[in-house]
Amino acid sequence: MKRLKIEPIEAEAFAPFGQLLPRLPPGAGRQELIEELQNDRASARPRLSIATTEPKALPLTAVKMERHVHSSQAFAPLDCAGYLVMVAPHGENGGPELEKIRAFHVPGDTGINYKAATWHHPLTPLERIGRFAILTFVDGTSGDEEWADLPEPVLIEE
């Protein structure tokens, strides 16, 4: 079993996998959050979803990851104390590259935008139930989402 320490998220460390949606101070007014949305299928349309997700405690064992080959995927917390993201680049084996996997703790007032084809663990609130708005481009085919079993379980720890 691979052991992985969760680290505080920073834009530079997360950059190979996507972008952070900036924290908005009270009274900030309208802010343009992301200019790097990706959609490489003319038939795909934006899908805005809301997800309510149960929290999990660390340590947490991950056995699968998902990716959206043709679309970026943005998560904007609506009500969340903090959450875990685990990401990996695409490996030569056709799945997540286990040696470059990273786990980040994201504050509840910060959103993320995964680049297209970034392997990621399902969004996981850490302290209490989390609610998120999610933006993905879909066309209703199997190309919308791909899942892969990890070559070995990954234990994510504080």
- 91 or 26: which leads in pLDDT: 91
Answer whether residue 143 is part of any domain. Answer: yes
- Whether residue 135 lies inside any domain: the answer is yes
Instruction: Give the domain CATH number at 18.
Output: 2.60.120.480
| Number of folded domains that form the chain | 1
The reply to whether 30 falls in a domain is: no
Residue 28 located in a structural domain: no
pLDDT band at 33; cut points 50, 70, 90 = low
Sign, Cα dihedral of 128, 130, 36, 40:
positive
Question: In which domain, by residue range, is 143 found?
Answer: 2-22+36-157
Contact 36, 123 (CB under 8 A): no
Residues of the chain above pLDDT 90, percent: 87
3-state secondary structure the chain: CEEEECEECCHHHHCCCEEEECCCCCCCCCCCCCCCCCECCCCCEEEEEEEEECCCCCCEEEEEEEECCCECEEEEEEECCEEEEEEECECCCCCECHHHCEEEEEECCCEEEECCCCEECCCEECCCCEEEEEEEEECCCHHHCEEEEEEEEEEEEC
Q: Is residue 27 part of a domain?
A: no
The pLDDT of residue 77 is 95
Position 60 scores a pLDDT of 97
Per-residue CA distances from 11 to 2, 19, 68, 75, 139 (Å) = 25, 7, 21, 15, 30
Q: Has residue 149 been placed in a domain?
A: yes
pLDDT digits 0-9 by tens, 86-113: 999 999 989 999 999 999 999 999 999 9
